[in-house]
Amino acid sequence: MSPVHPVTLIGAGNMGGAMAANLLDQGWTVEVCDIDPAKVADSKEKGASALAVPARAAINSVAFIVCVVDAAQTDAVLFGPDGLARMLQPGNTVILCPTISPQDVEAFAGRLAALGVHTVDAPMSGGPARARDGTMSLMVACAPAVYEQQAGLLQALSGRVFRISDHPGDGARTKLVNNLLAGINLVGAAEVLALAGRLGLDPARTLDVIEQSSGQSWIGSDRMRRAIAGDYAPRAHVTLLEKDTRLAVEAARAAGFEGPLGARASEVFAQAHRAGLAELDDAAIFKYLRDR
């Protein structure tokens, strides 16, 4: 049974909008805010209420979910002129879902703690379709009491909630490790299918083989099926994995670790961006490598 009080969701893009729709389907009351009126309108059609600015959120919200792109947007949502900090009360909970650096998560959590506000570090993975049906992964790091308090909402958002640790920042670390591997796998899948075409093979038939063989990866299959069909409509822009892999490589170097693949894969996303593919789906890595 969902609570009477609303859930506030800031950022109604591909992932945030899908999360809102999932909660609404389960009977939760949801209010949304986004700088894009079209995204807010889409959520309103599904039953959400609209906020003009984060500071207009209901004071009695179950939790305040931040689902924006990066640390700068997160800072604006929380501490900007119309940010949530203007109305947050001691005992409130902010759930941070963006992929940002662990240090940024720790800094935001510290600033919120000074207000008496709890932080749940909860980056997500799986894409909009899995956010919509509640099967995305949530990597959760927060104090045990906060986790128990928010367990109902977290389970409503996803049936795949991974309890990482009690320390906000560790969710971000886990997400960066995951996304670095996703980036490596995607670049690898795009490279071998571009090679298959250069060798005179049918890329779709080659992918059929890969999917039933040792080279299979979820992101490779998901993105390369779209790429082979020429479908580069953005579900996840090239810039997202460009950012995530860059943050992961920075975290690795700060920890004194440098592997052979992460930095190279990250550079491929940066090159695709510079080649004019930034606003396309990250499946466009195939287009970039094929056309070089």
pLDDT tens digits, 114-132: 999 999 999 999 889 999 9
Which homologous superfamily is 173-291 in? N-(1-d-carboxylethyl)-l-norvaline Dehydrogenase; domain 2 (1.10.1040.10)
The model scores a pTM over 0.85: yes
Domain regions of the chain by residue span: 7-167, 173-291
Give residue-wise pLDDT tens across range 255-267: 999 999 999 999 9
CB-based contacts of 220-223 (< 8 A; 24+ apart in sequence): 220/185, 220/186, 220/188, 220/189, 221/189, 222/127, 223/186, 223/189, 223/190, 223/281, 223/282, 223/283, 223/285, 223/286
Report residue 114 as tokens: 């000074």
CA distances from 204 to 227, 235, 283 (A): 10, 21, 14
- Given this chain, do its domains 7-167 and 173-291 carry the same CATH topology? no
* 8 Å CB contact between 241 and 179: yes
Give residue-wise pLDDT tens across range 40-94: 999 999 999 999 999 999 999 999 999 999 999 999 999 999 999 999 999 999 9
Instruction: Give CA–CA dist 33/268, Å, rounded.
Output: 34
Catalytic site residue from 39, 44, 46, 175: 175
* CA dihedral sign, ordered 140, 141, 145, 146: negative
Instruction: Give CA–CA dist 20/8, Å, rounded.
Output: 9
Catalytic, 175? Answer yes
CATH assignment of 7-167? 3.40.50.720
CA distances from 32 to 36, 44, 83 (A): 11, 8, 14
